[in-house]
A and B are shown apart, each in its own frame.
Chain A
Amino acid sequence: MPLKPLVLLLVLLCWSPLAWGEVHFNRDIRPLLADRCFACHGPDARANHSGLRLDLEAAAKGKLPDGGDPAIIPGNPDASGLLQRILSSDPDLVMPPPESNLQISPRERELLRQWIAEGAPYAEHWSFVAPHKPELPPLPDGWTARNPIDHFIGQRLLQEGLTPSPTADRDTLIRRLSFDLTGLPPSVEEVLAFREDPSPEAYSLLVERLLASPHFGERMALDWLDAARYADTNGFSIDGGRHMWLWRDWVIQAFNSNLPYNQFLTEQLAGDLLPNATPAQRIASGFQRNNMVTHEGGTIPEENLTNYNADRVQTLGEAILGLTLGCAQCHDHKYDPITQKDYYSLFAYFNTLGDIGLDGNAGVNPRPQWQAPTVLQTGEEQTLRQRIDELRRQLAQPDPKALAEWEAAQRRDLAERGRDLQLLPVRLMQVSTPNRGAGFELEAERFVRVLQPSGLAAYDVLAQLPETARPITGLRVVFHPDEIAPGGGWGFGPQSRQRQKENSPVKGSFRLTAISVSAGEVPADQVDLYRMLPVRRITANTWQSTHRPELSLDMRNENGWAPQDDHQGNVHLTLTFGEPLDPRKTPYLTAQLNFGAGDNLIATRMELFALLGSDDGSPLPEAVIDALQVESDKRSDEQQQAIRSHFSAHAPQTERLRIDLQNAEERLAVQTSAFPVMVMNVSEKPRPTFILKRGDYSQPTLPVSMDTPEFLPRLDHNADSRLKLAEWITQPDHPLTARVYVNRVWQMLFGSGIVRTPSDFGSQGEWPTHPELLDWLAVDFVEHGWDVKRLVKLLALSATYQQVSHSPPALLERDPLNLLLARGPRFRLPAEFIRDAALRTSGLLVPQLGGPSVNPYTPGDLWREISHYGSTPATAQTFVQDHGEKLYRRSLYTYWKRTAPPPNLVAFDAPNRETCLVSRPSTNTPLQALVLLNDVQFVEAARAFAERILHLPADDRERITYATRAALARDPSPGELEILLNALDRERNRYRAEPALALHLLAQGESPRDESLSPTEHAAWMQLASTLFNLSESITRH
Chain B
Amino acid sequence: MSSITHSSLGQQLNSLSRRRYLTGTAGSLGALALNLLLKGEQLPAADATPHSSEGLPTLPHFPSRAKRVICLFQSGGASHVDLFDNKPTLHEFAGKEIPPSIKGDQRLTGMTSGQAAYPVTPPLKPGKPCGASGTWISDLLPYTQTVANHLAVIKSVHTEAINHDPAVTFMNTGNQLPGYPSMGAWVGYGLGSENANLPAFIAMTSQGSGKNPGQPIFSRLWGSGFLPSSHQGVGLRPGANPVLYLADPPGTSRTQRRDMLDDLARLNQERADDWGDPETLTRIQAYEMAFRMQMSVPELTDTTQETEATLASYGPDVRRPGSYAANCLLARRLTERGVRFVQLYHRGWDQHIALARQLPNQCRDIDQPTAALLADLQQRGLLQETLVLFVTEFGRTSFTQGKFGDPGAGRDHHGRCFTCWMAGGGIQGGLEYGSTDDFAYNITENPVHLRDLHATLMHCLGIDHTRFSYRFRGLHVRLTGVEEARVIRPILA
Contact = CB atoms under 8 A, between A and B. Distances in A.
Contacts of B39: 31-32, 35
B480 interface: no
Q: How large is the interface on A (under 10, 10 to 19, 20 to 34, 35 or more residues)?
A: 35 or more
Contacts, number: 377
B17 to A, nearest CB: 8
Contacts of B48: 7
B5 interface: yes
B40 A530 contact: no
Contacts of B230: 923-925
B169 to A, nearest CB: 9
Interface stretch (A657-665, A703-711, A895-903): A895-903
A923 B229 contact: yes
Given A11-B1, A870-B212, A107 B219 contact: no
B256 A990 contact: yes
B205 A865 contact: yes
Contact of B408 (A436, A928, A979): A436
Given A867-B216, A929-B287, A326 B267 contact: no
B244 A930 contact: yes
A765 B474 contact: yes
B41 A530 contact: no
B276 A3 contact: no
B223 interface: yes
A136 interface: no
B283 A759 contact: no
B102 interface: no
Contacts of B254: none
B21 interface: yes
A528 B44 contact: no
Interface string B1-41: 11011100110110110000110111110110110111111
B134 interface: no
Nearest to A698: B107
B308 to A, nearest CB: 14
B103 interface: no
A1027 B263 contact: yes
10 contacts: A7-B48, A14-B43, A238-B216, A437-B356, A828-B27, A866-B205, A925-B24, A927-B244, A1001-B251, A1036-B277
Nearest to B282: A924
B126 interface: no
B306 to A, nearest CB: 16
Interface residues of B, number: 132
Interface string A936-954: 1001000000000000000
A443 B263 CA distance: 65
Interface string B111-123: 1000000000000
Interface string A1017-1038: 0010001001100111100101
Contact of A526 (B209, B276, B474): B209
B27 A999 contact: no
B216 A237 contact: yes
A923 B256 contact: no
Interface string A914-930: 11000001111111111
A979 B266 CA distance: 8
Interface in A96-150: 99, 101, 103-105, 107-108, 111
Contacts of A1027: 260, 263-264, 267
B217 interface: yes
Contacts of A31: 39
A979 B263 contact: yes
A237 B473 contact: no
A702 interface: no
B178 interface: yes
Interface in A963-984: 973, 975-976, 979-980, 983
Given A31-B39, A930-B246, A236 B165 contact: yes
Contacts of B213: 434, 867-871
A861 to B, nearest CB: 11
Interface stretch (B63-71, B81-89, B232-240, B450-458): B232-240
A1031 B353 contact: no
A105 B41 contact: yes
A731 to B, nearest CB: 25
Interface of B: 1-2, 4-6, 9-10, 12-13, 15-16, 21-22, 24-28, 30-31, 33-34, 36-44, 46, 48, 50, 57, 107, 109-111, 162-165, 177-179, 205, 207, 209, 211-213, 215-220, 223, 228-230, 232, 234, 237-239, 241, 243-253, 256-257, 259-260, 263-264, 266-268, 270-272, 274-277, 279-280, 282-284, 286-287, 289-290, 293-294, 316-317, 319-323, 353-358, 361, 406-408, 410, 412-413, 466-467, 469, 473-475
Nearest to B20: A924
A819 interface: yes
A924 B165 contact: no
Nearest to B21: A924
Contacts of B356: 437
A52 to B, nearest CB: 21
A298 interface: yes
Contacts of B406: 438
A1003 B250 contact: yes
A926 B286 contact: yes
Given A7-B44, A235-B178, A866-B218, A1004 B212 contact: no
A525 B209 contact: yes
Given A19-B37, A921-B229, A924-B26, A914 B473 contact: no
Contacts of A353: none
A298 B239 CA distance: 36
A927 B61 CA distance: 30
Given A237-B165, A520-B320, 15 more contacts: A10-B33, A16-B37, A105-B41, A324-B474, A764-B473, A810-B2, A811-B276, A903-B245, A923-B228, A926-B286, A928-B286, A934-B247, A979-B266, A1030-B260, A1030-B287
Contacts of B282: 924
B236 to A, nearest CB: 12
A996 B260 CA distance: 20
